[in-house]
Structure 1
Amino acid sequence: MGPEIKHPSEPVTLAIIGCGQRGLAYAEYALSEPTKCKVVAIAEPRPNTRKLNAESHRVDGSLVFTSWTEFFDASAETIATIGKRLADAVVIAVQDHMHHEVVEAFASQGYDILCEKPMATSIEACIQIEAAVKKANIIFGMGHVLRYSPYSQAITEIVRSGKLGTMVNAVHVEPVGHWHFAHSYVRGNWSKEKDSSFSLMTKSCHDIDILCHWFSPDTPVRVTSFGGLQHFRKSAKPAEAGDATRCFDCAIEKQCPYSAKRVYLDKVTAGQLDWPAAAIVDGIPDIEGITDALQYGPYGKCVYESDNDVCDNQVVNIQFASGATVSFTMVAFTSLICSRQTRLHFTHGEIVGDMETFTVTDFRTGKSTLHTPKAEGGGHGGGDLGLIRTFVEAVRTRRQELLGTDVTDILKSHLMVFAAEHSRREGRVVEYADFEKSARETWSPMESKDFTHDGLI
């Protein structure tokens, strides 16, 4: 029997698969709105992080797991014995390369799924997920959080209203932030494509998504992209740093904008225990734990001696069927941290914004109006909260349309990112329709998998 509409007084139950920064961001909603949803199970390999989150959400010990496969096996047992899943939905916030297998596994058990971005790290895997979600007929949400912030939704309302005429161009910049890029894409989990994916996918797939969303139903027809790894490599290492490979051993550490001591240890010493320091240790950061991580782990390595290989700057240009155009830039070398800068140009006006406020100018009246959407808690200007809140309501009411997207739309958005990267690598214009057709013909869905075999990892 499939899921049924839940009574408003009955909270939607969630299992959090991966209790890192993203998993915690979504789980926070259960603490602030306990009548809406409840975290009833977690799966997390790090013991201190697992214990802290189990205690925070008062999860029964029998539903605290060290891996997603443990939770999957326990779920399989309850489905087989009493015909019931352990939760209404799962939030999948494991490492990117695991998304494919984990989504397919829990779709096969009939769980509604909220998957952190990206959908998967290969075209084949994305197409397999689309097939699995459609077959299971489940509610499926994607961590494209930019769509769900009050700021973005206010802009979307104006775009859809047609008050400024037809949108003909968008200029959008994702300023990653110099030390943020070093943390995540030089020293961190997203530094090497083989371990995750290329940086346009891991960092900016939701930027491409919202740009295509604003132009919809207009469709992208061609894309070009340029970029590369410009700075974070050994050839850019200052001569004064000598042979030092770690910040603690570097003579010019105090002058380096990427000093690990500055980014992590000094902040913890000052009492700042949240991200990014919280991301490099298991549990609550302290001086001893951070020092140990910087002495022996990747986060204390010189950014010019790391084994990173993903782009630190990239531009993407898209043309739509109507002739409308988009210019998108992702760049590491900024003081702003992910505070997107956006200009939307219409036939009768423009919108200029910075993720907190935006100004609407109507050319016909000459009037400019400043909009300051009500800020909400959570990251991405309230986008994290907006997504999990919408997902929970979609699960409760069995209405995929509340999310404003579906798995096929999500797949097309990801294929645009793959097409852009294909253009960058090959140095040519990519025709999107041909790219999607080729992808679907090449990577047709596999036959149904057996997720209970002993070889499952």
Structure 2
Amino acid sequence: MSGLIDSTKNLWRKSMRLKESPYKEQKVPLECEASDPTRPGPDRFVTLAVVGCGQRGKAYSKYALRSPNRCKVIAIAELRPNTRKQFAALHKVDNTLVFDTWQDLLAASAETISTIGKRLADAVIIAVQDHLHAEVTAAFANQGYHILCEKPMATSVQDCIKMEMSIKRTGNIFGMGHVMRYSPYSKEITEIVRSCALGELVNLVQIEPVGYNHFAHSYVRGNWSSESTSSFSLMTKCCHDIDLICHWFNPATPLKVSSFGSLKHFQKSSKPKAAGSAVRCLDCPVEKDCPYSAKKVYLDPVSHGNIGWPVETIVDGLPDIENVTEALKNGPYGLCVYESANDVCDNQVVNIEFSNGATASLTMVAFTSAICERETRMHFTHGEIIGNMSTFTVNDFRKRTSKVHHPVNEGGGHGGGDMGLIRSFVDAVGERHQDILGTDINEILKSHLTVFAAEKSRRSGNVVDCVAFEKEARDACTEVEA
């Protein structure tokens, strides 16, 4: 394997000694790979490039450290210098394959393809900000890379459809960051659903308790706080809830959807009067009594040695008292949650009717002590499943039995879903079979369109026909392309 990686590095160094040529989009045959295509499928070693080395990029790339016999990160692109340096050191990425921007990585890849007929890696993990997903995916897909893209696909209906077109045109393996369906918990439930042991699934109720501090961090102060720079919160937080619900009801598809929700609390009108004119938590006279105090969320944990999430996300490099204090004094994470420029819903409900007459509902709410520990009730014709992402109880009406299941979490985020997804993706790339991922671009797009339809319902106050919504979206995209 070390020889394989060295070979890739040498190919890149050799190409850089050749005369530079401008980047041109090109479709490269899938046989033209950085690793050896003659190796047997299941054992084939997979090389990865990571675009975006933040929290999600780190989460997916942990598999390369756990299973060095299966895959390795050999190239990265990351804007933040300290984060880039630490990530490169952790994965022992050669300096010639460390880039500041995804455009630099793309250009280097184009150079190696045009001069020596080799890509830099087999696949690309895309973990940049949501609004860049479509552009970055299309660019690397056009060069023939297999793609694992963090959720959501994109922030507009048109971009989601364009991504589908890019993937279908190139025929690449495509994975989506819908990690919930890959956890041992979800996979065991899926097996029961598919077995029909409890009869037909008739109704599903899911609650997504975001967590009061998690919501304040990500959706009030953070990167997903504004629709104009990211997207609406149902998409950025719950697109994989909708995906999992659709997955469990498959082959039935969403027929109609309705939704209600609002930004109820995190706005200036909810600010305590005693806070006065304070704009930042460090200057607030009632900070000690506020559950959303930035000092409590970020600074106090660091003083006790906790440098993990969420504080690790607000600075470039390792958090310490000095750089975290600086971030709270000058950055968005130190702002009062009632003075922030957020505009996304902090509570929302979605109701779905499926093509077979089954129904489902999803509740997303910020105001919980639990952080993303979904609660699920599934009602079948002959039984029910009640779960909480850690354990689930199966009640069989016919057998008059009740059994508690304790799926083994192998570690990693989302109940083991992060690790399950990246393992499945690496296997799919190694064996050249999309089916290993248990989904495809068509299913991924359909669940995203259901989320967009739900948001349209919330805004319009009307029930939305999902079939008509998809047709209108595709027609509009075709007109733009023409």
TM-score (norm 2): 0.92
Q: Does 1:143 align with 2:177?
A: yes
Letter in 2 for 1:398: R
1:439 aligned residue: 473
Q: Which amino acid aligns with 1:33?
A: S
Task: Assess if the C-alpha contact under 8 Å between 1:44 and 1:67 holds in 2.
Answer: yes
Is the 8 Å Cα contact of residues 259 and 454 (structure 2) preserved in structure 1?
yes
Describe how 1:393-404 pairs up with structure 2 within 5 A: 393-404=427-438
1:451 aligned residue = none
Assess if the C-alpha contact under 8 Å between 2:141 and 2:170 holds in 1.
yes
| Counterparts of residues 276-355 of structure 1 (less than 5 Å) | 276-355=310-389
**Residues 89 and 111, structure 1, Cα contact 8 Å, conserved in 2:** yes
Give 1:11 deviation, angstroms. Answer: 2.0
Instruction: Give, in angstroms, the shift of residue 426 of structure 1.
Output: 0.3
Is 1:17 equivalent to 2:45 in the alignment? no
Q: Is 1:357 matched up with 2:391?
A: yes
Post-superposition Cα deviations, 1:284-306, rounded to whole Å, max 9, x if no partner, equal 11110100000100000000000
Q: Deviations over 1:19-67 (max 9, x none)?
A: 0100000010000100010000010000000000100000000000000
Query: Quick one: which of 242, 250, 260 aligns to 1:226?
Result: 260
8 Å Cα contact 1:351-1:360 kept in structure 2: yes
| 1:114 equivalent among 138, 148, 156 | 148
Conserved 8 A contact 1:164-1:346: yes
Tell me which amino acid in the other structure corresponds to 2:187: Q
Distance 1:269 1:354 in 2: 32
Match of 2:215 among 175, 181, 186: 181
Q: Which residue, out of 60, 63, 69, partners 2:97?
A: 63
Residue 93 of structure 1: which of 117, 120, 127 is its match? Answer: 127
What's the CA shift string for 1:163-200, capped at 9, x where partnerless? Answer: 00111100000000001000000000000000000000
Whether the 8 Å contact between 1:189 and 1:196 is mirrored in structure 2 is yes
The alpha-carbon deviation at position 360 of structure 1 amounts to 0.2
Shift of 1:447: 5.8
Who is 2:23 aligned against? Answer: none
Specify the alignment match of 1:428 in structure 2. 462
**SS in structure 1 at match of 2:478:** coil
The change in CA–CA distance for 1:445 and 1:29 in structure 2 (over 3 A counts) is: farther
2: CA distance between counterparts of 1:163 and 1:407? 29
Q: Distance in 1 between matches of 2:50 and 2:267?
A: 36
Q: Aligned in 2, Cα 1:5/1:399: closer, same or farther, shift over 3 Å?
A: farther
Tell whether the 8 Å contact from 2:209 to 2:371 is kept in structure 1 after alignment: yes
Seen in structure 2, the aligned counterparts of structure 1 residues 34 and 446 have a Cα distance that, compared at 3 Å, is farther
Q: 1:215 aligns with which of 230, 244, 249?
A: 249
The one-letter code matched in structure 2 to 1:289 is N
Mapped to 1, the partners of 2:130 and 2:271 lie a distance apart of 30
Structure 1 regions of 5+ residues with no counterpart? 449-457
Instruction: Kindly indicate whether the alpha-carbon contact (under 8 Å) linking 1:72 and 1:106 is maintained by their aligned counterparts in 2.
Output: yes
- For 1:21 and 1:399, the matched residues in 2 are separated by 28
SS of the residue 1:194 aligns to: coil
1:10–1:35 CA contact under 8 A, matched in 2: no
Structure 1 vs Structure 2 CA RMSD = 1.1
Q: What's the offset of the Cα at 1:5?
A: 6.7
Contact 1:6–1:396 (CA<8 Å) still a contact in 2? no
| AA at the equivalent of 2:314 | I
CA–CA separation in structure 1 for the residues paired with 2:265 and 2:139: 40
- % identical equivalent positions: 65
The residue aligned with 1:2 is 30
1:445 Cα deviation (Å)?
8.1
Cα distance in 2, alignment partners of residues 374 and 325 from structure 1: 30
Structure 2 Cα separation of the partners of residues 335 and 116 of structure 1:
26
Residue 159 of structure 1 deviates from its aligned partner by 0.5
8 Å contact 1:49–1:283 — kept in the other structure? Answer: yes
Q: Which of 54, 62, 68 in structure 2 is aligned with 1:34? A: 68
Matches of 1:337 and 1:2, distance apart in 2: 41
Q: How many pairs are equivalent? A: 448
One of 257, 263, 287 as aligned partner of 2:291: 257
Would the alpha carbon gap of residues 6 and 444 (structure 1) be closer, same or farther in structure 2, given more than 3 Å must change?
farther
Q: CA–CA distance in 1 between the matches of 2:417 and 2:92?
A: 26
Contact persistence 2:43–2:430 (CA under 8 A)? no
The answer to whether residue 415 in structure 2 is matched with residue 410 in structure 1 is no
The amino acid of 1:64's aligned partner reads V
Q: Does the 8 Å CA contact 1:5/1:398 hold for their aligned counterparts?
A: no
**1:206 is aligned to 2:234:** no
Q: Does 1:195 align with 2:229?
A: yes
Mapped to 1, the partners of 2:356 and 2:441 lie a distance apart of 25
CA displacement at 1:376 relative to structure 2: 1.1
SS in 2 for 1:355: coil
> Which segments of 5 or more consecutive residues in structure 2 lack a partner in the other structure?
1-28, 32-36
Give the Cα separation in 1 of the matches to 2:86 and 2:246. Answer: 39
Asked whether the 8 Å contact 2:239–2:451 carries over to 1, the reply is yes
Shift of 1:9: 4.6
Following superposition, the deviation at residue 419 of structure 1 comes to 0.3
How far, CA to CA, are the matches of 1:368 and 1:441 in structure 2? 49
Aligned-residue offset at 1:365: 1.9
State how far apart, in whole Å, the 1-side matches of 2:304 and 2:38 are. Answer: 48
Three-state SS of the structure 2 residue aligned to 1:2 is coil
In the superposition, the TM-score normalised over structure 1's length comes to 0.97
What's the secondary structure of 1:444's corresponding residue? helix
Contact 2:44-2:431 within 8 A present in 1 as well: no
Per the TM alignment, residue 219 of structure 1 is displaced from its structure 2 partner at its CA by 1.4
Distance across 1 between alignment mates of 2:38 and 2:455: 41
Q: For 1:29 and 1:197, locate their aligned partners in 2 and report how far apart those are by CA, in whole Å.
A: 29
Matched, 1:129 2:163: yes
Q: 2:30 is aligned with what amino acid?
A: G
